[in-house]
């Protein structure tokens, strides 16, 4: 799968990510998006234009109003692209998990040995005091 850098440039902006997060729940008008994005309407409109040009957002006119909604296709493409890399990090995480489990076992064994040694030492000291 070929992923264009434009996708990452589009998603790199935190305001655009807030707009996308706002649109996750469904179609919204600009005014609703402004409330959630925390910037002026002109800024939201500019970011919506960029998201629309990049294919992330669809616009549905309804008289004087414009409704914006997420398009699923770019997210599917992004997920497919990430899928190739997921195999790499999952394999690494599996190896890390196995190493971590081995370390836990070693620490538990060492602690058990220390506790046993402490118990034996305490027993010897008690005997020496009692004799």
For 13, which DSSP code? S
64 and 17 assigned to the same domain: yes
The CATH number given to whatever domain includes residue 23 is 1.10.10.10
Question: Do residues 102 and 51 both lie within one domain?
Answer: no
The answer on pLDDT for 47 being more than 60 is yes
pTM score of the predicted model: 0.65
From 26, 42, 71, the end of a domain falls on: 71
pLDDT at 33 exceeding the cut of 90 = yes
**Structure confidence at residue 119 (pLDDT):** 66
Overall domain count for the chain? 2
Q: Mean of the pLDDT values across residues 89-95?
A: 81
- Distance CA(127)–CA(64), nearest Å, equals 94
The boundaries of the domain holding residue 104 are 85-131
- Residue 59 domain-assigned (yes or no): yes
One domain for residues 44 and 67? yes
User: CA 73, 79, 82, 84: dihedral to nearest 10 degrees?
Assistant: -90
């Amino acid at each position: 799968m070929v992923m264009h850098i434009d996708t990452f440039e589009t998603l790199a902006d935190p305001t655009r990510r807030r707009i996308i997060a706002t649109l996750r729940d469904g179609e919204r008008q600009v005014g609703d998006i402004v409330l959630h994005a925390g910037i002026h309407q002109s800024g939201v409109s500019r970011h919506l234009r960029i998201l629309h040009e990049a294919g992330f957002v669809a616009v549905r006119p309804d008289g004087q109003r414009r409704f914006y909604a997420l398009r699923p296709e770019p997210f599917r493409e992004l997920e497919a692209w990430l899928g190739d890399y997921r195999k790499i990090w999952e394999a690494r995480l599996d190896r890390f998990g196995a190493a971590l489990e081995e370390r836990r076992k070693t620490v538990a064994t060492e602690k058990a040995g220390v506790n046993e040694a402490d118990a034996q030492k305490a027993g010897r000291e008690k005997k020496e005091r009692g004799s």
